[in-house]
Structure 1
Amino acid sequence: MLYIVGGGAIGSLVAAGAQKHGVPYQQYPRNVKHCPSSAVWLNGEIVTLQPACSMPSVLQADDVVVLPLKVYQLSQALHFWLPYLVNQPTVVLLHNGMGGAEIANDILGPDYPLLLATTSHGALKKETENGSVIVEYTGKGETQMGALDVQAFGCSNKTSSILTSKLCSKLPSKLSSAISLLSAALPPTHYCDDIQKALWSKLAVNAVINPLTAINNIQNKHILDSQFDKQRQAICSEFTATANAYGFSFCEKQVHERVMAVAKATGENYSSMHQDIVNKRPSEIGAINGYLIERAKQKGIATPINTLLTQQIKEIEAQFNTNISM
């Protein structure tokens, strides 16, 4: 069984994929009323979701729990779900930004079967004219998943050293089952040997697209405009210096080219941070550019452009709070 925590765009897209492809699932949003009741697929097909749930029961060891939440929501969610995880079902963190693994390890313990995931599928949650909430599938992508500690899935050190990115008999059954379940719901899903580098690579894209689209109230495609050339390149430069200081081997030019490619491929989309700012919700700036700043600081690396963008987003968020209190 697939358990989806939250009623956001990506979580609802996973639920819709499970519904469409016959994968048993349950969705547990924070507010049932705000959870989409249907999804619009890429071909225009309408997928009706089963009613959302409010209270879970104890899960089984072969179940999979997906948390497509904001990083700042993880602690509260995991503490709520902790009593239902006594049989150690696989937990999958699926969010923008970084820092989620540290939170999960503190709450679940370092030996818990935990998977980290990143997806390039696009989804947009919105309210229709008649007041119903839907999710639109806005762009087909792929999901990469990996474990920081494959031994938590019953994998020996010898086996873990020869794991490949393909689903194969060398993967522990618990790990393989979790990936297969997610891939059946929203294909394709691949196992990634170096999930940390994949997450850092996604961080680079988010660090550019998210704050610039949010601050300037633009779609992703406008990141390609010449007025953002210097900012794009400066963010990529600070990212590359920081990531490589932690042992990665990113090429600044290639990082910038990938940012450009993603912005072009998702050109009509609005970033998640843009949507947060437009809807006056807290953003993930702390888990994206803020995370990069903190890691750079530990290595003595200056990050003036990331610091400026982070301050600008925080100032906008502070204005939301001011307006609410007035």
Structure 2
Amino acid sequence: MHVVVFGAGSLGSLVGGLLARTHEVTLVGRGEHVRAVRADGLRLTGAVDLTVYPEARTEPPASADLVLVTVKAFDTADAARALGGMDDAGAVLSLQNGMGNEETLAAALPWPVLAGTTDFGAERTGPGVVRCNGVGEVVLGPPEGGESPAADRAGGAFREAGIDATVAADMPQRLWTKLAVNAGINPVTALSRVDNGAVLEEPLAGIARGAARETAAAATAAGVDLGPEEAVAAMEGVARETADNVSSMRQDVEAGRPTEVDAINGYVVERAEEPVPVNRTLAALVGGWEAGEAGPGRD
């Protein structure tokens, strides 16, 4: 299968590199990283020790069997426009943080759009080099729930490459659960400059739990069955499993880049039917930092 990874940053390069063990993979990314992969291959370190040699370029090719979208949420509309120039993409799978990405892609593209989540931990440590901070799984399926042949084909492609993959019929519930996890961990660790495990202890635990509970309430208002303590348990479980990891939002803040807070805590604020003061405050604090400090570069 020919798989295109659009947004070959840390996560996209890691997943694309693992897929390249079995499939034809094209990484679409930014210049310096693309040049390094072309010259010396893609080096994966940490929990995975591997060098692969996928094609690397700055624009998508004419066609693919599957496109993985791994850009930051604020770049999804630009990604959709770029992918719209392809002749055929087979199916498009969003492996992004936040909510609303699948709707943006589906509105612009004629191919099936799938939703996905993953708990792989990735950090780009240099051009052409990505560190795997934790091997995880990929869960994917139609964003509205149910089953589809496109999801079955995509799941099979991951499994053929040795990646633990589940094709799920309950993606709405899984997406909201992931949102609760990200709402509790990402902005708290980014603002405090601490590793993920710090949200399990006070003084940060109460804030992270509050964000998760508010996300569950917004999910319920959207018709998704997610209890507040279920959301807290999911958030704390991920924080425990990734205790020593640096969240993606903290990486963005430390690098002076814009964050995905609008698609995470900001999405909760937009969709909630009742006050969500914790998410509103976190979104405002990160947004205020971005307005004053974040540079123009986006990964």
Q: 1:273-292 counterparts in 2 under 5 A?
A: 273-292=249-268
- Which residue is equivalent to 1:156? none
* Matching of residue 28 in structure 1 with residue 28 in structure 2: yes
* Matching of residue 59 in structure 1 with residue 60 in structure 2: no
Deviations 1:181-206 (A, max 9, x none): 13333611111101111110000000
Name stretches of at least 5 consecutive residues in structure 2 with no aligned partner: none
- Which residue is equivalent to 1:119? 118
DSSP 3-state at the match of 2:143:
coil
Tell me the distance in 2 between the aligned counterparts of 1:193 and 1:294: 26
- Which residue is equivalent to 2:176? 200
Tell me the distance in 1 between the aligned counterparts of 2:206 and 2:7: 37
Tell me the distance in 1 between the aligned counterparts of 2:104 and 2:226: 26
Tell me the distance in 2 between the aligned counterparts of 1:319 and 1:82: 34
Cα 1:58–1:140, aligned 2, differ >3 Å: closer, same or farther? same
Alignment check: 8 A CA contact 1:40 1:137 kept: yes
- Which residue is equivalent to 1:251? 227
Question: In the alignment, residue 39 of structure 1 is paired with which amino acid?
Answer: L
DSSP 3-state at the match of 2:139:
strand
In percent, how many aligned pairs have the same letter?
A: 28
Alignment check: 8 A CA contact 1:32 1:52 kept: no
Alignment check: 8 A CA contact 2:257 2:294 kept: no
* Matching of residue 304 in structure 1 with residue 277 in structure 2: yes
Could you tell me how far 1:24 is from its partner in structure 2? Answer: 1.4
TM-score (ref. length: structure 1): 0.83
Name stretches of at least 5 consecutive residues in structure 1 with no aligned partner: 151-159, 164-170
Tell me the distance in 1 between the aligned counterparts of 2:28 and 2:98: 22
Cα 1:305–1:295, aligned 2, differ >3 Å: closer, same or farther? same
Q: 1:211-290 counterparts in 2 under 5 A?
A: 211-290=187-266
Deviations 1:282-323 (A, max 9, x none): 100000000000001xx2x10111111111101111122589
- Which residue is equivalent to 2:79? 77
Of the three residues 129, 136, 142, the one matched with 2:137 is: 142
Question: In the alignment, residue 50 of structure 1 is paired with which amino acid?
Answer: P
- Which residue is equivalent to 1:166? none
Question: In the alignment, residue 67 of structure 2 is paired with which amino acid?
Answer: V
DSSP 3-state at the match of 2:204:
helix
Of the three residues 22, 39, 44, the one matched with 2:44 is: 39
Tell me the distance in 2 between the aligned counterparts of 1:179 and 1:134: 26
Could you tell me how far 1:123 is from its partner in structure 2? Answer: 0.9
Alignment check: 8 A CA contact 2:217 2:227 kept: no
CA-atom RMSD, angstroms? 2.2
Tell me the distance in 2 between the aligned counterparts of 1:277 and 1:186: 33
- Which residue is equivalent to 2:10? 9
Tell me the distance in 1 between the aligned counterparts of 2:296 and 2:114: 39
- Which residue is equivalent to 2:165? 189
Of the three residues 270, 288, 295, the one matched with 1:294 is: 270
Could you tell me how far 1:260 is from its partner in structure 2? Answer: 1.1
Tell me the distance in 2 between the aligned counterparts of 1:234 and 1:57: 44
DSSP 3-state at the match of 1:227:
coil
Question: In the alignment, residue 47 of structure 2 is paired with which amino acid?
Answer: L
DSSP 3-state at the match of 2:68:
strand
Cα 1:302–1:134, aligned 2, differ >3 Å: closer, same or farther? same
- Which residue is equivalent to 1:155? none
Could you tell me how far 1:41 is from its partner in structure 2? Answer: 4.8
Alignment check: 8 A CA contact 1:2 1:181 kept: no
Q: Which has the larger radius of gyration?
A: 1
Question: In the alignment, residue 24 of structure 2 is paired with which amino acid?
Answer: P
TM-score (ref. length: structure 2): 0.90
Cα 1:321–1:240, aligned 2, differ >3 Å: closer, same or farther? closer
